Amino acid sequence: MEKEKQTNRIREIIREKGLTMTEMAERLGITRQGLGQIIDTPSYPTLMRFAEVLEVPVWQLFVTAEEAAKWSPAPKVTLDLGLCPHCGQPVKLCLGLEKG
Query: At 27, which CATH number?
Result: 1.10.260.40
- Residue 4: which pLDDT band, with cuts at 50, 70 and 90? very low
Q: What value does the mean pLDDT of the chain take?
A: 84
Which of 51, 46, 53 lies closest to 23, judged by CA? 53
Q: Taking 60 as the threshold, does the pLDDT of residue 6 lie above it? A: no
Assess if residue 28 is contained within a domain. Answer: yes
SS3 content of the chain, % helix, strand, coil (to 5): 45, 25, 35
CA separation, residue 65 to residues 15, 46, 61, 87 (Å)? 12, 21, 9, 36
User: Is residue 40 within 8 Å of residue 8, measured between CB atoms?
Assistant: yes
- Residue 100: which pLDDT band, with cuts at 50, 70 and 90? very low
Count up the domains in the chain and report the number: 1
- Residue 68: which pLDDT band, with cuts at 50, 70 and 90? confident
Assess if residue 62 is contained within a domain. Answer: yes
Stronger pLDDT, 31 or 4, i.e. the higher one: 31
**How many residues in total does the chain contain?**
100
pTM strictly above 0.85? no
